[in-house]
Amino acid sequence: MVASAANARSAQPVVRTSDLTRSFNGFTAVSGIDLEVAPGTILGVVGPSGSGKTTTIRMLTGSLAPTRGEISVLGESPRSFSGRTRAQIGYMPQQFILYPDLTARENVDFVATLYGLLLFKRRRRSRQVLELLGLWPVANRQAGKLSGGERRRLELACALVHEPRLLILDEPTAGVDPMLRRTIWDEIHRLRDTGVTAIITTQYVTEAEEVDQVAVIAGGRVIAHDSPAGLRRSAMGGEIVEVETTGTFDASALADVPGFRNVRQTGLRTFEVLVDDAGEASAAMAESVLRAGGEIASVRELQPTFEEIFAAIVEQGGAGVPEDLSATAPAARSQEAGTR
């Protein structure tokens, strides 16, 4: 996955923005956003509500014109998308925009036809996406009578039905139960592995684990843009190692060991150390503890939760942590690595 993403990154970006800015009556919703999204990667745009995620997405789709800056999507400006380029974009908006009086299948068929799928392919693809997202049993139910989760899946089905090269999904997992959330991410990963590029906004910071690149957006600005691992490192200043010794140990003895930073005693037999690379630090740790008269029982890397990471990033970015930025997906709380 990482290799394919790395290979893809060497190609021309699918989306590129430069100084992207949008104002509404003097209020700047999005300011100076520079992004590049390589083919076959998933970019997660993470930020609290009102941070400018949807405005950015709408500019990428051509629904909204930027006040300033440049955008290139699939090599074209969204202001003047050709029909061919439009046909390569799959868009799932934040709110339900489909037709409540049409059945699930009719909605998918309608969108498929808008995207130019003719009769037989349309039928085949409609069925495929409905089955894929578990909607086939309710295919003949009117969209207005579907549950909230089914409606989100239906919108995703409509975004996928024409097999787009670029998926733009605005909070696809909002209000969706954990099982369905997993299904949606699995499908997005599967599509990414077939070369589809995806830009996905989310308020759930823990979902940053699911993407290849994360852009943290707050107050209309991108305050961090990196891989999830890169973000973790940059937010915390390195990797945190938790050490347990067989007996009582005074961790202050390690304060002067080169490469060990922020040594913090957490118990009579436990302490934490910030290092550049947890894997490389293990041997030095064992030696240093032994030299200081202790003996290591276990060493493990502590992975801070993305809540902590984003809190750190937002604070570094000069803003307070908005309440909904700390929202987490219920199924993805623990991010601790196992004992090494």
Partner 1 sequence: MKSLYRVMALVGKEIVEVLRRPGAVISLVLGPFLILAIFGFGYHGYRRDLQTIVVLPVGANLATDPQEYDSLDATGIRVISVTADRTAAEAQLQSEAVDLVVVIPANAVQALEQGQQADLTIEMNQVDPVQANYATFMAQTLMADVNREIYRRGAEAGQAYAVQIGGQAAKIPADVIASPTVAKVVNFAPISPAIVAFFGVAALALVLQHMAVTLLALSIVRERTSGAMDLFRIAPIRATELVIGKVIAFGLLGGAIAAISVALLVGLLGVPMLGPPILIAVTIALLLGASLGLGLVISIISDSERQAVQLSLLTLLASMFFSGFVLRIDEFEAPVQAAAYLLPVTHGIRLLQDLFLRGSIEHPWQLGALTIIAAVLLAASWILLRREMRPA
Two structure tokens written together for 23: 């104002």
Nearer to partner 1, 3 or 118 (CB): 118
The β-bridge relationship of strands 166-170 and 89-92 is: parallel
Angle at Cα 262 formed by Cα 256 and Cα 265, nearest 5°?
A: 95
Q: Which is nearer to partner 1, 89 or 329 (CB)?
A: 89
| H or E segment and range at residue 297 | strand 296-302
Segment lying near partner 1 (by CB under 8 A), choices 104-112, 183-191, 266-274, 293-301 = 104-112
Pick the closest to residue 321 from 305, 337, 303, 302 (CA basis): 305
Q: Report the Cα 168 to chain-centroid distance in Å.
A: 12
Angstrom distance (rounded) from CA 71 to CA 134:
36
Q: Is 172 in the site for partner 1 (CB under 8 A)?
A: no
Q: Pick from 294, 262, 292, 297: which is nearest to 276 by CA?
A: 262
Token reading at 303: 């992975």
As measured in angstroms, the least distance from the Cβ of 79 to partner 1 is 6
Tell whether residue 151 is a contact of partner 1 (CB under 8 A): no
The binder of partner 1 chosen from 53, 86, 105, 181 (CB under 8 A): 86
Phi first, then psi: give them for residue 108, nearest 5 degrees: -65, -40
Q: Which runs of E-coded beta strand occur in 131-287?
A: 166-170, 197-202, 213-218, 221-226, 239-245, 261-265, 270-275
* Of 87, 174, 296, 327, the one binding partner 1 by CB under 8 A: 87
Minimum distance between the CB of residue 92 and partner 1, rounded to whole angstroms?
10
Contact between 114 and partner 1 by CB under 8 A: the answer reads yes
Tell me which stretch binds partner 1 (CB under 8 A): 40-48, 54-62, 242-250, 271-279. Answer: 54-62
d(CA 75, CA 61): 13
Q: Which of 106, 163, 177, 226 binds partner 1 (CB under 8 A)?
A: 106
* Binding of partner 1 by 26 (CB under 8 A): no
Give the interface segment with partner 1, choosing from 29-37, 83-91, 247-255, 308-316 (CB under 8 A).
83-91
Shortest distance, position 183 Cβ to partner 1, whole Å? 23
Of these, 7, 19, 70, 101, which contacts partner 1 (CB under 8 A)? 101
User: Distance between CA atoms of 64 and 295, rounded to whole angstroms?
Assistant: 62
Instruction: Rule CB under 8 A: choose which of 111, 135, 146, 208 binds partner 1.
Output: 111
Q: Report the residue from 67, 102, 189, 209 that binds partner 1 according to the rule CB under 8 A.
A: 102
CB of 179 to partner 1, least distance (A): 27
For partner 1, the binding residue among 10, 27, 83, 258 (CB under 8 A) is 83
Residues sharing a CB contact under 8 Å with residue 295, sequence separation 6 or more, in sequence order: 245, 246, 247, 289
Which parts of this chain interact with partner 1 (CB under 8 A)?
58-59, 61-65, 78-79, 83-84, 86-87, 89, 91, 93, 95-99, 101-102, 106, 109-111, 113-116, 118, 142
